[in-house]
Amino acid sequence: MASPLIITALAAGLSGFSSADELPRTQVLLVAGDCRVAAAKAVEQTGGQLLSAQPAGDGQSCVVTVLVQGNGERPRKVTVRLPM
């Protein structure tokens, strides 16, 4: 048998939400694809080594960062924005 104290606490906690309209809302971003193809294209175009690839805020392109080795120089980072 449940304790009256537990039942009272549960009832008090649930009484704070009178309707579904008062529940917090969250946003979900649907992404049409992933960045694998964009990353492969960036590596092919620059001849570099992939550092990162992530969807851009618009949901239709990717931001890809590649490390490109120079001729005896320090490698440099190249960041490109490509469609998904």
| Assigned domain for 1 exists | no
| Assigned domain for 16 exists | no
Q: How many folded domains does the chain comprise?
A: 1
Distance, CA of 58 to CA of 40 (rounded, Å): 20
pTM of structure:
0.58
Question: What is the 3-class SS of 19-76, one letter each residue?
Answer: CHHHCCCCCCCCCCCCCHHHHHHHHHHHCCEEEEEEECCCCCEEEEEEEECCCCCCCE
| Assigned domain for 10 exists | no
Q: What's the burial of 22, exposed, middle or buried (CB within 10 Å: 0-12/13-18/19+)?
A: exposed
Q: Which domain holds residue 65?
A: 27-83
pLDDT 10s digits, 43-79: 999 999 999 999 998 888 999 999 999 888 899 999 9
Distance, CA of 25 to CA of 21 (rounded, Å): 9
| Assigned domain for 12 exists | no
| Assigned domain for 20 exists | no
